[in-house]
Amino acid sequence: MPTQKKIKQKKTKSSQDIASVSGMRDIHPKDGEWWRAIIDSGRAIAEIYDFAYIETPIIESTDLFLRSAGVEKDIAKKRLFEIETKEGRFALRSDLSAPVLRSYVEHRLGYFSSPLRVYHYGPVFRNGPIKDGFEREVKQWGFDIVGDNDPVYDVQVMLVAMGMLKQLKFTDLKVKINTVGCKVCRTNYRDKLRAYLKKQKLCEDCKETIEGNPMHCFLCENSSCKAIHKEAPIILDFLCQGCNNHFKSVLEFVEENGIAYEPDPYFVREKEYYNRTIFEVISGDNPLSLAGGGRYDYLADMLFGKTIPGVGVALSLQRIMDRMKAKGLHPQKKEKPKVFFIAVGEQAKKMSVRLINELRGVGIPVAEELGKKTLRLQLKAAEKEAGIALIVGQKEAFEGTVMIRNIKTGAQETLVTEKLAEQVRKWLK
């Protein structure tokens, strides 16, 4: 037989074998208030800005994400979590906007509202090597406006994202903004940029990127490449009249609304489907991107061969929480239950479960730790949780009564269970 020591070692090894997947995080109770505050702020600002709720499945057709990747399908495929089934190829969603547009077309949501304003939240997934804080699961909150290409909507998604962050007490927000033009002016610019970059000494990744989308070289963090980028031609010199007017209107709306912004002609986004306006909402002197988005008028064409304009923004919930903690932006704490129920003895416990459920049923929050056997331990827990304790012992269980006690003053009274909720409310006033 194995010794006791060996048994302990086996248990320890087993507990280490089963763990969360690298690049994915649990949400723990200690962070519950932060997550609740972030989600509540998103829902509140969505209602203020008249956005309706939409939810799409966490799994979609692989083709949805490959088509939206444009010229970089091979790279996109490597980043997908694919699922092979008898029905076809599926993938964990890698962004939120493509599924929203799929739903818009499939269910003709343009008849519901024009333009359609929706908000949504949930995880997106990306495959890849774990390094430098890479996360396989990213929890996002999104706002999308589909069905109109007016520049006013570009600014409205900026404002709703910033409004959500301001509700969370962020005051140092700035928008980094650029335009990536349209198919016509962007093609001319890419040719010019590609010709410039081919003459430079770039890293291996940038050399591979040049042929597909040379603008994505601006995403490279290699110091020598970044120095080369600063001398590269900029798209602003290649914009057609329509894109120039659109970007000018966006900047006018930005200034009219008092949004602090930073034009950056070398700013690009990874998604191929963006056109015209792209932006990020950044926080702090040591800037951290909390939200990012842009216009995607070509996405429907890439997916369905249809022209449906749209613009959206996605906020990274984990980044928001991390930055809130770093800046000391504490969420408003959820009000703790004011009533703590204490039961001593098996008969009292049985009676207390019914009474607790009745109180909760009429909207009175009740905390309890009925698993603790002694009155002393339950009273100690009550002192941390509430101002009023309801106590049932064997005597009270037999008589059908409850002892109510003000924990701070020690004042107490015996109540009958028939009108318990009504009497508890009086004590809570």
343 and 291 housed in the same domain = no
- Residues 77, 120: one domain? yes
| Domain count within the chain | 2
Judged by DSSP in three states, 299 sits in: helix
Residues 278 and 347 in one domain: no
235-277 tens-digit pLDDT: 898 899 999 999 999 999 999 999 999 998 888 888 888 899 9
CATH number at residue 347: 3.40.50.800
pLDDT at 9 (0 to 100):
47
Mean pLDDT of the 60-64 span: 86
Which domain-ending residue is among 301, 327, 353? Answer: 327
219, two tokens: 């995403």
Residues 6+ apart with CB under 8 A from 398: 347
**Given 268, 301, 327, which residue is the final one in a domain?**
327
DSSP state of 290: E
Give the residue from 284, 301, 327 where a domain finishes.
327
Looking at 302-409, which runs of residues are DSSP E strands?
310-316, 339-343, 366-368, 388-392, 401-406
- Other Cβ atoms closer than 10 A to 45: 23
169: left (phi over 0), alpha (psi -120 to 50) or beta: left
CB 182 within 8 A of CB 267: no
Task: Give residue for tokens 């520049």.
Answer: 151
Rounded-to-integer distance, Cα 178 and Cα 325, Å: 30
Co-location of 283 and 156 in the same domain:
yes
The predicted model gives 109-113 an average pLDDT of 86
- Separation in Å, CA 306 to CA 104, 147, 246, 401: 12, 12, 21, 70
Structural domain that includes position 381: 339-428
Name 173's bridge partners: 283
Q: Among 130-134, 268-272, 340-344, which stretch is predicted with the lowest mean pLDDT?
A: 130-134
In a domain, 45, yes or no: yes
Q: How many whole angstroms separate alpha carbon 175 and alpha carbon 170?
A: 13
Q: pLDDT, tens digit, for every residue of 140-158?
A: 999 999 999 999 999 999 9
Query: Which pLDDT belongs to residue 192?
Result: 86
Whole-number average pLDDT of the chain: 85
Residue with tokens 């009925």: 370
Same domain, 283 and 399: no
345/396 same-domain check: yes
In this structure, the number of other CB atoms found within 10 A of the CB of residue 49 comes to 17
Same domain, 135 and 259: yes
